[in-house]
């Protein structure tokens, strides 16, 4: 064997994914990205994403699990079923030829994203301005959210039960809102603070108005003016905020990034990029051998708790219901078998190597923008604390699937050892006995109002997830 061939054989290469695809696939990368941008623009909250996915899936023949249960007929291979958990997390099933008891293939991501929520009594007036008090959600760097246009999305429910969904700040003709920052001229004390303390949690107050309503008896005339406008437009009163869920997110649309348009700048890539790739992959599964599942969950950014997070029993309930419709002798044991025979790609983003902050990464074991779908054998922090650490046998299975299907992929971990760390939903299904590995798209500026991903990594995620589910 010539040395050149020998080197090809024994040495690991790390090439750009762009140089490993042909012109036709490059076109597919760009057209897939166009649809992804539309999804991001329509889905800026977990609720909006779940509703988008439900509507889309219904057009592809998916039926609500509640209707399937009510019908009570046995399910069969190729049936497409979804469970919508309170419009906040949503799980799709394409029933396989084998019984569910034999295991499933799952791609699981999350559709919540770091943001700023309104407090329950948000509205107040100060210095002739109306503001909303907030409580941030997830791991944000607070200084990134000031002096930048923001939009309000969410749901209020009036005392009479009427639902008011709002979305203000996204249309070109809408007003936007903003959290103000201090001018540098007076920023001497602020600039001397630690970066994480320059803007405080209680300082994240959203500016929403400055015009008074003429009323001699009222002290807070600007606040009154805002309430009168809200009452006129939506019929809502101040007390309706106390039971509402309203989220503040960056205003504006997803945009191509770079002269070559190879990347996308947008709010919420974490983790809508993996969720969208998994969702689109699942929609294309016809009749798999094993039941294919796409689960797109809420509350990951705050620890996966709550009845819409991955820790909730909702997924297991759905599996139990489906097994009950598949066999005449349902038992709890079948559900346990199903979960422990299952293979999962925990589809969440990873930190892409950033040359501006090279010293926090191990360059040899990092994910890179444009090098494809990234497998993370383990996450966690310190000595792999909190990690589910995938088994070598399972990684070998995933490697073969990706290679057989020409998926460009890379491995990497989240930064240098002892630099910090993170984790996602992998451990939850791993605890139920499933094989799980983290596998997602590398992101720059993760958790910032505008994050960056590569279009080819998105496409390779879709291709990889589809190959994984379609068997
Ligand atoms: Mn994530
Ligand atoms: Mn995150």
Q: Which tens digits make up the pLDDT trace of 14-71?
A: 899 999 999 999 999 999 999 999 999 999 999 999 999 999 999 999 999 999 999 9
Q: Which ligand is nearest to the CA of 137?
A: 2
Q: Which ligand is nearest to the CA of 138?
A: 2
**451 CA distance to ligand 1 centroid (A)?**
12
Q: Which ligand is nearest to the CA of 272?
A: 1
**350 CA distance to ligand 1 centroid (A)?**
8
**234 CA distance to ligand 2 centroid (A)?**
33
Over range 225-236, report the average pLDDT: 96
**424 CA distance to ligand 1 centroid (A)?**
6
| DSSP-derived pairing of the beta strands 206-209 and 129-137 | antiparallel
pLDDT digits (tens, 9 = 90+) for 265-282: 999 999 999 999 999 999
Q: Which ligand is nearest to the CA of 349?
A: 1
pLDDT confidence band for 379 (50 / 70 / 90) = confident
Over range 105-111, report the average pLDDT: 98
DSSP 177-222: BB-----GGG-HHHHHS-GGGSS-GGG-PEEEE------TT-S-HH
Q: Which ligand is nearest to the CA of 108?
A: 1
pLDDT confidence band for 297 (50 / 70 / 90) = very high
**301 CA distance to ligand 2 centroid (A)?**
5
Q: Which ligand is nearest to the CA of 348?
A: 1
Q: How far apart are CA 96 and CA 16, in angstroms?
A: 35
- From the list 122, 125, 352, 118, the residue with the least C-alpha distance to 249 is 118
**446 CA distance to ligand 2 centroid (A)?**
7
Burial of residue 397 (CB within 10 Å: 0-12, 13-18, 19+) is: middle
pLDDT digits (tens, 9 = 90+) for 394-404: 999 999 999 99
CA distances from residue 219 to 120, 124, 214, 240, 397 in whole angstroms, order as listed: 22, 11, 10, 22, 68
DSSP conformation class of 164: E
**171 CA distance to ligand 2 centroid (A)?**
27
**124 CA distance to ligand 1 centroid (A)?**
33
**Cβ neighbours of residue 286 under 8 Å, at least 6 residues apart?**
78, 94
What pLDDT does 216 receive?
87
Judge contact between 138 and 447, C-beta under 8 A: yes
Residue with tokens 């007390």: 239
- From the list 277, 316, 312, the residue with the least C-alpha distance to 434 is 316
**5 CA distance to ligand 1 centroid (A)?**
40
Token code pair at residue 203: 């300082």
**270 CA distance to ligand 1 centroid (A)?**
5
Residue with tokens 């984790």: 423
Q: Which ligand is nearest to the CA of 140?
A: 2
- From the list 90, 145, 36, the residue with the least C-alpha distance to 295 is 90
**126 CA distance to ligand 1 centroid (A)?**
37
pLDDT digits (tens, 9 = 90+) for 119-176: 999 999 999 999 999 999 999 999 999 999 999 999 999 999 999 999 999 999 999 9
Judge contact between 436 and 346, C-beta under 8 A: yes
What pLDDT does 425 receive?
81
Choose the weakest-confidence range: 20-24, 345-349, 420-424, 457-461: 420-424
| DSSP-derived pairing of the beta strands 80-85 and 263-266 | unpaired
Q: Which ligand is nearest to the CA of 445?
A: 2
User: Mind listing the domains of the chain with CATH numbers?
Assistant: 3-113+267-469 (3.40.630.10), 115-250 (2.30.250.10)
Q: How far apart are CA 455 and CA 350, in angstroms?
A: 15
**230 CA distance to ligand 2 centroid (A)?**
33
**30 CA distance to ligand 2 centroid (A)?**
25
What pLDDT does 208 receive?
98
Helix (H) / strand (E) element for 316: namely: helix 314-326
């Amino acid at each position: 064997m010539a040395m050149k061939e020998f080197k090809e054989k024994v040495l690991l290469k790390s090439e750009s994914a762009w140089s490993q695809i042909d012109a036709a696939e490059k076109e597919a990368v760009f057209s897939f990205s166009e649809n992804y941008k539309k999804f991001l623009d329509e889905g800026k909250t977990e609720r909006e994403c779940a509703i988008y996915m439900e509507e889309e899936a219904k057009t592809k023949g998916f039926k609500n699990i509640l209707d399937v249960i009510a019908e009570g007929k046995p399910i069969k291979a190729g049936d497409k079923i979804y469970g919508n958990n309170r419009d906040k997390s949503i799980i799709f099933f394409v029933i396989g030829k084998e019984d569910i008891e034999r295991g499933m293939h799952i791609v699981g991501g999350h559709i919540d994203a770091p943001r700023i929520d309104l407090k329950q009594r948000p509205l107040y007036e100060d210095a002739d301005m109306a503001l909303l008090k907030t409580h941030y959600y997830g791991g944000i760097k607070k200084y990134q959210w000031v002096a930048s246009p923001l939009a309000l999305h969410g749901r209020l429910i009036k005392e009479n039960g009427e639902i008011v969904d709002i979305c203000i700040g996204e249309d070109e003709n809408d007003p936007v809102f903003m959290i103000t920052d201090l001018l540098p001229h007076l920023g001497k004390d602020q600039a001397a603070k630690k970066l994480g303390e320059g803007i405080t949690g209680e300082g994240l107050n959203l500016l929403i108005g400055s015009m008074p309503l003429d009323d001699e008896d009222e002290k807070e005339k600007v606040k009154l003016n805002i309430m009168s406008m809200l009452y006129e437009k939506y019929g809502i009163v101040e007390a309706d905020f106390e039971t509402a869920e309203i989220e503040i997110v960056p205003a504006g649309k997803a945009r191509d990034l770079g002269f070559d348009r190879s990347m996308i700048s947008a709010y919420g890539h974490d983790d809508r990029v993996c969720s969208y790739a998994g969702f689109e992959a699942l929609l294309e599964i016809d009749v798999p051998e094993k039941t294919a599942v796409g689960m797109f969950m809420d509350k990951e950014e705050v620890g996966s708790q709550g009845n819409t997070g991955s820790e909730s029993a909702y997924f297991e309930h759905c599996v139990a219901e489906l097994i009950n419709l598949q066999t005449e002798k349902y038992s709890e044991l079948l559900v346990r078998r199903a979960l422990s025979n299952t293979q999962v790609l925990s589809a969440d983003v990873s930190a892409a190597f950033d040359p501006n902050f090279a010293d926090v990464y191990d360059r040899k074991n990092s994910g890179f923008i444009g090098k494809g779908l990234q497998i993370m054998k383990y996450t966690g922090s310190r000595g792999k604390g909190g990690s589910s650490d995938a088994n070598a046998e399972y990684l070998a299975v995933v490697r073969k699937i990706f290679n057989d299907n020409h998926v460009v992929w890379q491995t990497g971990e989240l930064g240098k050892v002892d630099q910090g760390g993170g984790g996602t939903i992998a451990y939850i299904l791993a605890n139920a006995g499933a094989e799980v590995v983290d596998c997602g798209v590398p992101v720059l500026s993760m958790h910032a109002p505008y994050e960056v991903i590569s279009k080819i990594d998105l496409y390779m995620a879709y291709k990889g997830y589809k190959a994984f589910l379609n068997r």
